[in-house]
Amino acid sequence: MITVLLGPQRFKPTLARALAEQSVTGRVATITAGWQERESDDTDLDRHLEGRAVNLRLHARGEEVFAADPELKEAHRLKQERLMLVQEFYRLRAEALLETAQKLATRAPDAELLAEEQQQSIEHLRELDRRHLERVRAVNAELAGRMSMVERPSVARHRRELAAIIEECDAVAIAGGHVAVLLNRLKLFDVAGLIGGRPLFAWAAGAMAVTDRVILFHDTPPQGRGVSQVLDEGLGLAPGVVALPSPRQRLRLDDHERVGWMARRYAPALCVALDDGARVTYETGVGWGRAQATLRLDAGGDIDTGWAA
């Protein structure tokens, strides 16, 4: 299976070119669930694909499922409330660890001691990330243990329809938007299990959702502190990387310390910044390759602009 991560498509669309490079000439099943209620506003995307887009309507289908299955809707609501609390507690702990690390950095008398203290701080953060992801898995598993969502009639009907639509398409494309909503809908209908061997193309939140771990990040958010966070497990169709869409708007790429911290914190996964025009390909059984205009955050704090996976 081929998975292609792309840069943002709003101002510099490259999806059609990427499809052509993979010899995709037929219809493309598109997923815009991250746009939520606006998921059907896909005129520009369909025009870019010359009328070949077939929107799977995952967000609307999810709303139909919840309307038809009150028990599942309530269980999902309780799960989301629990996850929001777990995320908030985790964020507060991460902020405290980073604040402590910054204070220690100002007191280290020499470079060697500073490096040791920084490494310990990073290890503490990585342990916090690991424990948080375990808690998220447990919350998700608790719901899955009580009710098999894909087997519920309300979900199964839509999955049959989705399978039939995807069967008539040559590829699947996942757009961006609200990453948590997008990931929820992808998992609700187990879309990964319906793709088969078709090429998959993803950008923005879509690129984040298909990796192993979804990382929320923004160095200078409008409110609050700029602390990156692990949100949840992704679909695992683009393993071994942390996808960082629109890096020039959301990361201080000229701050060597912040860049190095992020690269070291999420290692051994590669922190891949997907700017306009970026494209990098993963092939099952082969690995990563064919990178273009893709940036990699280096543990030393540099940005590798000539990176080829």
| Domain contains 286 | yes
Mean pLDDT of 286-305: 86
| Domain contains 43 | no
The average confidence (pLDDT) of the chain is: 91
Q: Distance between CA 140 and CA 75 in Å, rounded?
A: 11
| Domain contains 25 | yes
pLDDT at 309 over 80: no
pLDDT at 151 over 90: no
pLDDT of the residue at 223? 66
Higher-confidence position of 61 and 110:
61
| Domain contains 277 | yes
pLDDT at 266 over 70: yes
Report pLDDT digits (tens) over 25-70.
Answer: 999 999 999 999 999 999 999 999 999 999 999 999 999 999 999 9
pLDDT at 108 over 80: no
Comparing 122-131, 231-240, 292-301, the range with the smallest average pLDDT is: 292-301
Tell me if 15 sits within 8 A of 42, measured CB to CB: no
Mean pLDDT of 154-176: 96
pLDDT at 155 over 70: yes
Q: How many domains does the chain have?
A: 1
| Domain contains 309 | no
pLDDT of the residue at 4? 97
pLDDT of the residue at 219? 81
Domain of residue 117, residue span: 2-38+48-304
pLDDT of the residue at 307? 62
| Domain contains 126 | yes
Comparing 98-102, 130-134, 256-260, 265-269, the range with the smallest average pLDDT is: 98-102
- The percentage of residues in the chain with a pLDDT greater than 90, rounded to a whole number, is 71
